[in-house]
Amino acid sequence: MAATALKEQLNGLVNSMFAEGLLDEQFQQLQMLQDGSNPGFVAEVVTLFCEDSERILADLTKLMDQAVVDYSKVDAYVHQLKGSSSSVGTQNVKLACIQFRQFCEENNQEGCMRALNVVKHEYYHLRSKFETMLQLENRIQAYETKQQN
Amino acid sequence: MGEAREGEGEEIGNKGGGGGGGGGGGLGVVRVLVVDDSPVDRKVVEMLLKKSGEMFEVIAVDSGKKAMDFLGLNEGKAESPKSDDQKIDVILSDYCMPEITGYDLLKAVKDNICSRSMPVVMMSSENDSQRISRCLAIGAEDFLLKPLQVKDIQRLRNSARPTAPAPSQDPKRKLPVDLIAQSNGSERRPHLAGVAAFLLEL
């Protein structure tokens, strides 16, 4: 029964992430790709996304700290992050990246700095929800494994 | 993430051999070379291919340069595949990649006598009509918008070379050692049940 309660908690969390705009229908596509033979697929994708995003955000921070900002490089990184957030269905991060790219096109340093902060804010908010989501999934998996043994 | 680990081999059992694919007129395994610098996108595409019900064998690389190395296209050398194991039925490449872009890769494939007949399907997150036209003009079979959906896999299948029916499979098949990769410190176990799609990542 504990597993049932955990599953309800997990469903509630994911539903709230959709309602809040953190996730979009692309995330549902990923959920549909997961099945019994690939039970960890969503977790793997989420983990990859988080690692990749943090790498990109670190690189963006360094670029924006330069005395002379190379906007084409900044744009390339933001494009990458926009792409991966689109593939995972992390809507708010994607939208923040789109805005960021606008400022890159304008070579607007102040705008880019603000946009970077927005992207970071959206990403870290999302990450904490993903962490909870993965913890719940792991607990559910542990219960179900215990039940089977 | 996605790093090749040398010196390791992996035995793969291949269940479900024989026909079963739809579209494109072929019944055998379709070997897809996926070229994308995004580890997230590679992962998602690989799973889409695995779940599509077609017989896809996926080889994934993270750069245009590695794709050209794999295809024997570097430095203008016209090399044909060394063995049947390296024949590719379709290349699926991202457009935007650092250094050697998908467009550069497409051009290299089409400029080379040995490879020009190989189907190349481009993909991009940008719905840029000029970009699409450029690629189609120099011989891309199709241009898919990211994120890919299930329906795009059929388009990919239709673009691939017709394949011969899959030969009767040995119960175990050794993979080339330098094509095995790990990501996130966790081993990737090939998925064997149902669709026989096994994954190699450079």
B147 has a chain A CB within 8 A of its CB: yes
Residue type, B119: P
| pLDDT recorded at residue A148 | 79
Identify whether residues B94 and B11 lie together within a single domain: yes
What's the number of domains chain B is made of?
Answer: 2
Cα B198 to Cα B175: distance, rounded to the nearest angstrom: 10
A47 has a chain B CB within 8 A of its CB: yes
Identify whether residues B133 and B188 lie together within a single domain: no
Burial of A76 (0-12, 13-18, 19+ CB in 10 A): middle
| pLDDT recorded at residue B197 | 45
Identify whether residues B188 and B155 lie together within a single domain: no
Q: Which residues contact A52 (CB under 8 A, 6 or more apart)?
A: A80, A81, A84, B1, B38, B39, B40
Where are the extended beta strands (E) located within chain B? 3-4, 11-13, 30-35, 56-61, 90-94, 120-124, 142-145, 172-174, 181-182, 199-201
In total, chain A counts a number of residues equal to 149
If you classify domain A41-148 with CATH, what class do you get?
mainly alpha
Q: What is the mean pLDDT of chain A?
A: 95
Of B44, B186, B191, the CB nearest to A45: B44
Residue A86, number of CB atoms within 10 A of its CB: 21
Identify whether residues B179 and B195 lie together within a single domain: yes
| pLDDT recorded at residue B199 | 53
What mean pLDDT is predicted for residues A59-67? 96
More confident residue, B197 or A42: A42
A79 contacts in chain B (CB < 8 Å): 96, 125
Containing structural domain, residue B182: 166-202
Identify whether residues B108 and B201 lie together within a single domain: no
3-state secondary structure A75-106: HHHHHHHHHHHHHHCEHHHHHHHHHHHHHHHC
Do residue B146 and residue A83 have CB atoms under 8 angstroms apart?
yes
Here the tokens at position A91 are: 């809507």
B194 has a chain A CB within 8 A of its CB: yes
Here the tokens at position A125 are: 């908010």
Phi/psi of residue B45, nearest 5 degrees: -65, -45
Of A30, A41, A48, the CB nearest to B39: A48
Do residue A87 and residue B44 have CB atoms under 8 angstroms apart?
yes
Cα A106 to Cα A122: distance, rounded to the nearest angstrom: 22
For A90-145, the pLDDT digits (tens) are: 999 999 999 999 999 999 999 999 999 999 999 999 999 999 999 999 999 898 88
Nearest Cα to Cα of residue A62 among A77, A48, A47: A77
Minimal CA separation from B93 to chain A, in Å: 14
Q: Which residues contact B96 (CB under 8 A, 6 or more apart)?
A: A76, A79, A83, B102, B124, B125, B126
| pLDDT recorded at residue B189 | 39
Sign of the dihedral through C-alpha B164, B167, B172, B176: negative
Identify whether residues B146 and B195 lie together within a single domain: no
Identify the segments of chain B with pLDDT beneath 70: 1-27, 75-86, 164-202
Which CATH number characterizes residue B53's domain? 3.40.50.2300
A82 has a chain B CB within 8 A of its CB: yes
pTM for the whole structure: 0.79
| pLDDT recorded at residue B179 | 41
| Interface predicted TM-score of the whole assembly (ipTM), two decimals | 0.91
Question: Which three-class secondary structure state does DSSP give residue B143?
Answer: strand
| pLDDT recorded at residue B40 | 96
Identify whether residues B54 and B97 lie together within a single domain: yes
| pLDDT recorded at residue A2 | 81
Do residue B125 and residue A83 have CB atoms under 8 angstroms apart?
yes
